[in-house]
Structure 1
């Protein structure tokens, strides 16, 4: 049986009624490209954080287990907001591991690190999402896409704060 082509791998918007929100098709596509990278980094960070929640050990187990749960729960909600913004701009949101692996700037762990290693990887992951969101913000701002810029500003605030909290535990 032939493998079906995944429509979310397309950059072109799905067919349907034209979208006239004051942002050109080309500009919406540029924003979606950056939002797709943000979604991929966010999903990769979500998966890593949840993984570490399950597998953390050591004297800080309870504190880290709870912190990781708080963070992955918030990230999970953000995934839907980012994907729905991509859809509102008239494109399919990426939604497969293959797409996320291709689009993400975050390297996944190849083993279960120590609690300290988990903290460092999550600092790095949150900083990576912040960098990706900041790049997406620049594109959204250039094309006068305030809803996307607002969403990205919120994501920047969360990921920079998470990185600071995690980094503080390593000091």
Structure 2
């Protein structure tokens, strides 16, 4: 049964489709952050291992929230690696060394890419699709990514 929440079927579908792409980006970033957690090496191993763990835990919560938002709009969340790879704007390019600086730079680029995409969609959700709830939701999501990016950026000073 389709939700009766004041949004047209078309707008519900458009919002869900856009959220599917966001979920795919979150999943790829989560996987890359897990990779950093598992494979980081160097004299600061322990501190960075724990740092990346905190970040992937945040991303896990974000993914769950995005998927639940999609479901609350009456659509199914993508949940396969194939779909995620088709929907994401991020790449899985890896650097040659497993050092913290390399991982941090890669993850920072991805967070900033997600932030830009979220920022571009805030008004689209509100104005084009009349979904102020999702607009507000991704505003908060953007702020979370901004803080996570700040934490990554601070390690590069």
- 1:87 and 1:78 mapped to 2: Cα distance? 14
Once the two structures are TM-superposed, the CA of residue 112 in structure 1 deviates from its matched residue by 5.5
The match for 2:116 among 113, 128, 131 is 131
Which residue of 2 is the match for residue 98 of structure 1?
A: 82
Alpha-carbon shift at residue 148 of structure 1 (Å): 1.2
Where structure 2 has 5 or more consecutive residues not aligned to the other structure, the ranges are none
1:54-89, Cα deviation, whole Å (9 max, x unpaired):
110112212211111111001101111101111111
Equivalent position SS for 1:170: coil
How many residue pairs align between the two structures? Answer: 155
- Equivalent position SS for 2:41: coil
Asked whether the 8 Å contact 1:39–1:83 carries over to 2, the reply is yes
8 Å CA contact 2:41–2:98 kept in 1: the answer is no
Q: d(CA) in 1 for partners of 2:139 and 2:148?
A: 14
Q: CA RMSD in A?
A: 1.5
Unaligned runs of 5+ residues in structure 1 are 1-16
Q: Which runs of structure 1 show a deviation greater than 6 angstroms over 4 or more consecutive aligned residues?
A: none
Maintained 8 Å contact 2:36/2:103: yes
1:84 aligns with 2:64: no
Q: In 2, distance between residues paired with 1:133 and 1:93?
A: 18
Task: Report the TM-score when normalising by structure 1.
Answer: 0.84
> TM-score, normalising length from structure 2?
0.91
